[in-house]
Chain A
């Protein structure tokens, strides 16, 4: 079991550009959540996808958008990048459709994508 995988591991962009980050959930999981972790801070919830729909959203602007595919993998898109978007972007998967199972209560995190905006 490969666990949660994310790509790329590192990325450098300039202000105003757009970026797409990718996540493959742990085998058997149907839900993907995205978090932003600024240096020295705890992760902040961006949004969660289940059945290809956004189910919950944190306090992030519309420049942050996402998508989930039929195979449960997900993408995070950020438009019009700002310097403040520089952070570690974490993807976490869980089994939302499996209420009562351990995979419902536990979110498994990937290693993250380090985004640097210059």
Chain B
């Protein structure tokens, strides 16, 4: 199973973009990159996922390098409510029975400062 490496903590100012890096150098060609976040005492919340193209939704943008060995999650205008632990995750290849696993790393604790 591929593993991810993230900085343990980061901070950014409210209203500024938060750029969270992730290394996944052992990822295989059919493994997706996922991002979830976990606010204290809650279950993880899905943010975005991608395979090799950049993705954007209402919450964030995901930039994946061409060699797929790293990615960056971008929160364009961070708010205080974005303070959370952000997990970069590899989704294992889908098996014949359509099942897959999410392999979590240790996450990055993002603090958004007023």
A positions within 8 Å CB-CB of B:
4, 31, 33, 35, 41-45, 48, 50, 55-56, 58, 90, 92, 96-97, 99, 104-112
Contacts and interface: CB of A to CB of B under 8 A. Distances in A.
Contacts of A58: 101
Given A42-B107, A50-B97, A105-B49, A90 B43 contact: yes
B88 to A, nearest CB: 10
Contacts, number: 59
B45 A109 contact: yes
6 contacts: A42-B107, A43-B102, A48-B99, A50-B98, A56-B100, A111-B43
Interface of B: 32, 36, 41-46, 49, 87, 95, 97-107
A34 B41 CA distance: 17
A99 B87 CA distance: 24
Contacts of B97: 50, 55
A9 B49 CA distance: 29
Nearest to B107: A42
Contacts of A112: 43
Given A4-B43, A90-B43, A105-B49, A44 B104 contact: yes
B106 A41 contact: yes
Contacts of A41: 106
